[in-house]
Structure 1
């Protein structure tokens, strides 16, 4: 009887281990926390630039996939793009054909950009950044399925000052200069 009771308690503890391993954090003081199982896990919030967001330590990394390039944003806890002063990065890209390539991420305004080799359909991208004294990484998988399931949305709104990174599919304000976005003609 004692062995059965100990076995039952052990089974109950093993069942609770995944719940105990989830890290909780809050984006703003006074808001409800949400759980992430580990760095690099899918993020529960909308992505500010229409990509995929993963947790990376106290930061977030967003990957936006376009036809011939990937855009990578380093985001703070409030999901605002951080300045890339003295930041560097690389991305390991795996194609659906099983080919792997390493590309350098080039800082461009408030984000990084890397060219995707011609004719490549991405399956996985592993992004590694060095920023603010931290080494960060995130893994983005099933990109080929995500690309097929998302409709191609052309940016209908842009900044009248033509600020880089201001294109959006909805009205709002420019992340660079703050001016109201205008509808493209």
Structure 2
């Protein structure tokens, strides 16, 4: 029993040391206040998504109109080129269904289509980029999406299709009509 107490104390003492080993950010940079389990600092969200640490990089996940956009970011949350990067995202819906989707480089980020009608709860993103294997877990995405839509949805489908709210112009993922600016 005494050995268990010693091991538990050693683990508690080591936890702050491993947290201090994480990198830090420049003072004065804006950051959103959300920290995931295991994160030692808040992150900027340059594209309006959720940012997680992945090795010496960061990954930003943005859900938009039935698609996942994944940005590879450096330690200062600046977007890095993704040409030649490959990856997948394991998706868990609010109904408990698990799906794997392929991430494809598109411009300055990677893109994947979500299965129609999916409300995403968790995504585990795995990438191979710049000679590194990276992964990050994004949880409670259904709650984050509701909060985001309530605050930043400036465009919506004129037919009021579910899931059509967006922060920028585009077309409805359900019916294809052009999104209109909310008044």
Q: Same fold (TM over 0.5)?
A: yes
Task: Answer whether contact 1:43 1:55 (CA < 8 A) is retained.
Answer: no
Q: For 2:17, which of 20, 26, 31 is the aligned residue?
A: 20
Shift of residue 66, structure 1, vs aligned partner: 1.6
Runs of 4+ with deviation above 6 angstroms = 6-11
- CA RMSD between the two structures: 3.2
Partner of 1:116: 114
- Counterpart for residue 52 of structure 2: 54
For residues 115-156 of structure 1, what are the alpha-carbon distances to aligned partners after superposition, in whole Å with 9 as ceiling and x for unaligned?
110011000001010001111000001101111122352579
- Residue 60 of structure 1 deviates from its aligned partner by 0.3
1:36 Cα offset (Å): 9.2
Distance 2:4 2:97 in 1: 47
TM-score by length of 1: 0.68
TM-aligned CA distance change 1:20 to 1:42, over 3 Å: closer
| Alpha-carbon distance change, 7 to 82 in structure 1, aligned in 2, over 3 angstroms | closer
Higher mean alpha-carbon deviation, 14-23 vs 51-60, is at 14-23
Indicate the structure (1 or 2) with the bigger Cα radius of gyration: 1
For residue 88 of structure 2, the aligned residue among 90, 96, 107 is 90
The unaligned stretches of length 5 or more in structure 1 are 157-167, 170-185
1:153 maps onto 2:152 in alignment? yes
Partner of 1:81: 79
Q: Using the TM superposition, give the Cα deviation of residue 11 of structure 1 relative to its aligned residue in structure 2, in angstroms.
A: 6.8
Q: Secondary structure at the match of 1:114?
A: strand
Deviation at 1:9, TM superposition (A): 7.9
Count of residues in correspondence between the two structures: 149
* Cα displacement (A) at 1:70: 0.8
